[in-house]
């Protein structure tokens, strides 16, 4: 019988994490590094890679490759793909974590439905759905050749459930149609890829609930009241899920959406 430590050991594997410098990406990177894999950190131009790279290499002694890439632009994705393929080190796991979440100041994003713009819609779908499709397609051969090759798509409760608008009353927060639609598409693409790329590549989704990011107190209180575990998530809550899906702990799991939402979807 294999030990749990051997199943979770990712020494000798290489993992690409998009949106790696963000709050959730950093925790995923630290988790994967602790399991022994080398990491490709990919994020937008101007991202502060240095601090994260130093932390990972000093704490875990793993190899890091940092790549600036605007996932909204196909030519940028092509360049990043070529860079990763060029060194011939392969890829064991692709984590499609980067997401277009917009801001309340972006025109046509956090707005009433009739004022949400086509341009904001297109930008969200390009990053949240087209980019994961493009990267998954581009690295299929590398993942097939790798031990334990797998893809993890970071979805959302709003890719499966509609928003409860009572949470947002008297706040400037919104829940754009493009975000939910793009994440819903990512859920279905996860299942489609799981049956299409099997048996060589496993494809799963990690579905986060709301993460505390200093939202207005009214929103936080309502969210906590609506959640069985009575709190919003922290980034640390996703370490177990990502370790499970990325490693051989989940070697017989594919096409699964792992919900880490404090019970939100259980009502």
> Which active-site residues does the annotation give?
179
Contact between 233 and 261 under an 8 Å Cβ cutoff? The reply is yes
CB 212 within 8 A of CB 238: no
Rounded Cα distance between 120 and 98, Å, is 16
Q: What's the CA gap between 97 and 28, in Å, rounded?
A: 9
Among candidate residues 14, 9, 28, the one with its CA nearest the CA of residue 145: 14
Which residues have C-beta within 8 Å of that of residue 172, sequence separation ≥ 6?
104, 110, 216
**Contact yes or no for 134/74 (Cβ under 8 A):** yes
The most distant pair of C-alpha atoms in the chain lies apart, rounded to whole Å, by 58
Distance CA 196, CA 87 (A): 27
């Amino acid at each position: 019988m294999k030990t749990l430590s051997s199943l979770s050991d990712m020494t000798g594997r290489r993992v690409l994490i998009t949106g790696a410098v963000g709050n959730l990406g950093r925790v995923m990177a630290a988790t994967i590094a602790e399991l022994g894999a080398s990491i490709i950190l990919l994020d937008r131009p101007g991202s502060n890679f240095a601090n994260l790279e130093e932390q990972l290499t000093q704490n875990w002694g793993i190899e890091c490759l940092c790549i600036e890439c605007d996932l909204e632009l196909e030519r940028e994705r092509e360049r990043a793909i070529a860079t990763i393929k060029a060194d011939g080190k392969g890829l064991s796991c692709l984590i499609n974590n980067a997401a277009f979440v917009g801001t309340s100041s972006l025109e046509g994003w956090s707005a009433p439905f009739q004022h949400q713009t086509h341009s904001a819609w297109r930008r969200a779908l390009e990053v949240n759905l087209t980019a994961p499709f493009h990267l998954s397609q581009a690295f299929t051969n590398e993942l097939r050749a790798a031990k334990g090759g797998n893809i993890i798509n970071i979805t959302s409760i709003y890719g499966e459930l509609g928003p409860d608008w009572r949470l947002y009353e008297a706040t400037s927060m919104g829940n754009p149609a493009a975000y939910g639609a793009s994440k819903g598409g990512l859920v279905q693409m996860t299942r489609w890829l799981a049956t299409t790329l099997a048996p060589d590549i496993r494809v799963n989704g990690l579905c986060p609930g709301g993460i505390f990011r200093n939202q207005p107190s009214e929103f936080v209180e309502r969210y906590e009241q609506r959640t069985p575990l009575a709190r919003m998530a922290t980034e640390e809550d996703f370490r177990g899920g990502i370790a499970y899906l990325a490693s051989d702990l989940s070697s017989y799991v594919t096409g699964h959406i792992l919900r880490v939402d404090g019970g939100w979807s259980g009502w």
